[in-house]
Amino acid sequence: MTDAAGGIDRAELYRHVRRAAALGSDQEAASVVRAVLRSLGQVLPRESRALLEGRLPGELSAEMERFAPPEPDPLLDRELFLGRLTNGLQTEGLYDQTLGGLDLVSSHVDEDAIRQIRAVFGALQAGLPPETRGRLAAELPPEVADWWRDPA
């Protein structure tokens, strides 16, 4: 999963994510990778972000840095990761009767987004030393850290 310089190889990263998340193309995998990196950029402290960014191809590192605040927000949680992905997922139409009517609503399939996130995590971890993987897990929101510890 690493290139000649010891960084994460972009093409291999996309192939892993495409296969592990059952996506249709490397282009779709690239979109998922960018979304997950944006979320990671928002929740990881600068020092930890630098450990990951140093292993990424330049444009992916820049993608992560572009969305990074000066300090991570401790209130960000799993919804930050899911929200970026669920907007592009297929939905299931359901009838909502909570307000007394019969309104058609759509419900996002979070399991698909979680599978995609875990696929990206698996690909990223393949190019990271164990101590970096452990450090990043310790700094992620709790449920997201569970996905990091159990990647696809």
Band (14; pLDDT cuts 50, 70, 90):
very high
Residue 90 covered by a domain: yes
What pLDDT, on a 0 to 100 scale, did the predictor assign at position 31? 92
Residue 3 covered by a domain: no
What pLDDT, on a 0 to 100 scale, did the predictor assign at position 77? 84
- Quote the mean pLDDT of the chain: 84
Residue 24 covered by a domain: yes
Reported pTM:
0.83
Instruction: Please check the confidence at residue 90 and state whether its pLDDT lies above 70.
Output: no
> What is the number of structural domains in the chain?
1
Q: Which domain holds residue 104?
A: 10-149
pLDDT tens string 97-110: 666 555 555 455 57
21: CB partners within 8 A, 6+ apart: 29, 32, 115, 116, 118, 119, 120, 152
pLDDT tens string 96-143: 566 655 555 545 557 888 899 999 999 999 989 999 999 999 999 999
Say if CB 89 and CB 108 are below 8 A apart. Answer: yes
Residue 1 covered by a domain: no
122: domain CATH number is 1.10.490.110
What pLDDT, on a 0 to 100 scale, did the predictor assign at position 89? 55
Rounded-to-integer distance, Cα 122 and Cα 18, Å: 12
